[in-house]
Amino acid sequence: MILEPVGMYREMYRDQHGDLPSIADAVTRQTLPDHAEIIGYLNNAPAGFDVMESVKHLFEEGRWIPGGSSLNSDGVWVWRQDSIEYLAEQLLEIPAGFVNYVRANGYNPPAVDASDTFYDALLRYF
């Protein structure tokens, strides 16, 4: 099983995940008409792996995001808790495949089959 990342950038990891895009390359000028609903979807998906730590905010010096490296998933896509904050506050590109998937699900995250295979795929991004 492979989970597709949403709003995950190499700057979130220390010398890991060089395969992820840079957050600088994700900046866009386009706002989705249903941006608030997509952010709601990200917030409403079940937690996959909670982490009790704060991470430095990538845009605001001196600001920290509680539980930032915690992982969430809908069973197809994966994102970090801090990803939600960045996608909500910054004009960052959201993958079209994810947007289409969210819309097709009526902005309601499906239940996740929490198998060992799912957790192995999820923890690839920890």
The number of folded domains in the chain is 1
The 10s digit of each residue's pLDDT in 72-123 is 999 999 999 999 999 999 999 999 999 999 999 999 999 888 788 888 998 8
DSSP string, 27-62: B-S---TTHHHHHHHHHHSPEEE----EEE-SSSTT
Q: Which domain holds residue 42?
A: 4-125
The 10s digit of each residue's pLDDT in 42-81 is 999 987 888 899 999 999 999 999 999 999 999 999 999 9
pTM: 0.91
How are beta strands 47-49 and 71-73 bridged, if at all? antiparallel
Q: What local confidence, expressed as pLDDT, does residue 37 receive?
A: 98
* Average pLDDT over all residues of the chain: 92
For the chain, give me the number of helices (H) and strands (E)?
4, 6
